[in-house]
Structure 1
Amino acid sequence: MDHYAQGSDTVSALQFPCTIFATQKRMDDYSASDMLCGDLSESQLKTQFHLVDVSTRANPYSLTKITPFSQPQSMFYGSRGEGEKISRQQCAEILFDEFRHLSQSFSLYGPYKSLIKKMITHMQNGEGAPFSSMYLDNALKSQILNDRSAENSTRLRLSDAFKNHIDWENKCYPLARKAELCKAISEGRLPKFDRFQDNFNGMGITIHDTWATHITIKSLKVNNDRYRAIVHYRVQDHFGLDGEDILKLKFSQFRFFRIWFVLQRYKSIGFKPFITNMETTIEITGERSEH
């Protein structure tokens, strides 16, 4: 611990790196309800979760292809009937293809447009391994830097805490005022992707809310009434659905989520959900307050 003489007092300086915030929900939480896999029977899916009409292409319960009646003169034209028997693996492949196809309406434009398809394919082939992407890291950084709400932005709130609580005479941040940095985060709003544009740019469907966040100050330099802090954000989310999700109309009305839930939770299929990792480092600079 560094100590600085200040008259007859001794100031203990905060040491770096220093984690100033960690959510109560923990990192790498494979016991979370949205990480369950292959735990539900056909009757549970149908009765508890009302998942009867799942796919337009294959029936995961009877393992048959669904084919439209293609003769225009048929009175059943346009309705669907069950066709040839398929294997469980073939059925899963058909459902994943439809899952990817349906994802397009949630991911219409922008640099993150392709992320949801990559994450669906990772669910199909990754066997539950964690997922990371420079696109996710960039999205996190952009969200933090572009949040200009003085009330909510963790970056702006930290900036105020540095400015107001740095010991400018001793060029350090006092250990005794660490709580002010923690408070700056806990009373703000953690980075998440629930803005209007996230409904269409691919981030709302891939991440939306987040599970766990750790924020660490890597370094702080104080010189000539100015400071420069390097702050690291580590964020995790789960690419998985729990029972509460699929019982909400905003999820169950979309075939996209019905297919996802069955692929993840049906005993006969049971593809593993996974943890999504994001991280970024930002710089916060400022100068001594006037007051």
Structure 2
Amino acid sequence: MSRLYLPTLLFRTQKWIDDYSANDMRCGELSEAQLRKSFMLNYVSDAVDPYTLTRRSAFDRPQSIFCCNNRDISDKISVEQCAEILFNEFRQCAHAFSLYGPYRHLIIKMINHMQYGKGTPFSDTALDAALKEQLLNDRTANSSLLRIKGALIECINWRESSFPVEKIEELTKAIQKSKLPKFDRFQDNFNGMGITVHDTWATQISLLSLHIAENRYRATLSFHVQDHFGLDSTDISQQKFNQFMLFRIWFVLQHYNKFAFKPFMTNISTTIEIAGSHQ
């Protein structure tokens, strides 16, 4: 029987870690005409018009009977001033999606990182804690953690207190049948995780350690999840995103060729110890 060498990779998604070619990692590639015609992004912000680089007033809003009057030249601002105003409004809009809980501050940190981080990867201990909480509290039948636990019990050679290396594939199959950790629960719509991460791009799961003795096992698993803090054309074309000013501002700051603020990779990692026994 072949020896199992640890750590060993159990699973990784088909989508790559650090895939900078993904559509939601593009920036600065769209003109005003494209934003208006292809994505119907005519009215982006209550505070400023990013196309004419002018400040707005309450009279400029679409529901106002005075909407679309020509603005005075004195209302003109620079590209940098316009971006600053849009980011401030972006932060204000984000509060509606992060009302409570220990993760509500994350969206502001991530918006700040988009504004000043120049596309560098982002990580935070609160994100790692959120991933761990999600994994440990998932009691559904499709929980990836519970499926790994079940597969370990089935695959361990209990008579010899060992794990046959050829059984690693069974652990991989168990994960493939599970629901990978995401933040798409109802509470994630309001606790800050739905707006910061929601779905995920790539996941890697590794077995770091495994100890078997007296019909019991103890193991350590590593979960590495990566998401993209960026929007693509599919996102903004959906009514559920386009209807909110937050996403319109986000898309324009990222994709409009006058701004071109870079999206970034969000890295989330945690290790979890599990244990079980053979009856």
TM-score bracket, shorter-length normalisation:
over 0.9
Residue 90 in structure 1 maps to residue 81 in structure 2: yes
| Matched residue count | 273
Deviation at 1:103, TM superposition (A): 0.3
How much identity, in percent, do the aligned residues show? 55
Segments of 5+ residues of structure 1 without an aligned counterpart are: 1-10, 71-75
1:223 aligns with 2:213: yes
Query: Of 112, 122, 135, which residue of structure 2 is paired with 1:121?
Result: 112
- Once the two structures are TM-superposed, the CA of residue 239 in structure 1 deviates from its matched residue by 0.2
Q: Distance in 1 between matches of 2:187 and 2:226?
A: 21
Note if contact 2:219-2:273 (Cα within 8 Å) is conserved in structure 1.
yes
In our comparison, the structure showing a higher alpha carbon Rg is 1
Q: TM-score, normalised by structure 1?
A: 0.91
* AA in 1 matched with 2:99: L
Equivalents in 1 of 2:228, 2:108: separation in Å?
16
Aligned to 1:54: 44
Aligned residue in 2 for 1:4: none
Alpha-carbon separation, structure 1, partners of 2:121 and 2:181: 20
> Does residue 183 of the first structure (1) align with residue 173 of the second (2)?
yes
Could you tell which deviates more after superposition, 159-168 or 227-236?
A: 159-168
**Corresponding position of 1:147:** 138
Q: Provide the C-alpha distance between the structure 1 equivalents of 2:80 and 2:59, rounded to a whole number of angstroms.
A: 25
Task: Name the stretch that deviates more: 160-169 or 79-88.
Answer: 79-88
Aligned to 1:73: none
In structure 1, the partner of 2:259 is 269
Contact kept, 8 Å, 2:129 with 2:270, in 1: the verdict is yes
CA distance in 2, matches of 1:14, 1:180: 14
SS in 2 for 1:12: coil
More strand by share: 1
Corresponding residue of 1:247: 237
Alignment partner of 1:19 is 2:15: no
Residue deviations 1:11-61 (CA, integer Å, cap 9, x gap): 223211010100000000100000000000000000000000000001110
CA shift at 1:68, angstroms?
Answer: 2.6
Counterpart CA distance in 2 for 1:77 and 1:267 is 31
Is the Cα contact below 8 Å between 2:46 and 2:58 reproduced in 1?
no
> In the alignment, which residue of structure 2 is the partner of 1:196?
186
Residue in structure 2 matched with residue 162 of structure 1 by the alignment: 152
AA aligned opposite 2:117:
G
* In structure 1, C-alpha distance between the alignment counterparts of 2:22 and 2:57, rounded to whole Å: 38
Give, in whole Å, the separation in 2 of the partners of 1:67 and 1:85: 13
- CA displacement 1:155-198 (0-9 Å, x = unmatched): 11111111111011222110121111001100000000000000
| In 1, Cα distance between equivalents of 2:205 and 2:128 | 14
**Is the CA contact (8 Å cut-off) linking 2:28 and 2:260 kept in structure 1?**
yes
Pairwise CA distance, 1:77: 8.2
Partner of 2:94: 103
Once superposed, which parts of structure 1, at least 4 consecutive aligned residues long, lie more than 4 Å away?
Answer: 76-81
- Structure number having the greater helix percentage: 2
Which ranges in structure 2 are unaligned for 5 or more consecutive residues? none
Question: Is 1:68–1:80's contact at 8 Å kept on the other side of the alignment?
Answer: no
1:259-280 Cα distance to aligned partner (Å, 9 max, x none): 0000000001110000000000
Tell me how large the CA RMSD over aligned residues is: 1.4
Instruction: Tell me which residue corresponds to 1:5.
Output: none
Following superposition, the deviation at residue 105 of structure 1 comes to 0.5
Corresponding letter in the other structure for 1:63: L
**TM-score, length-scaled by structure 2:** 0.95
2:129 equivalent in structure 1: 138
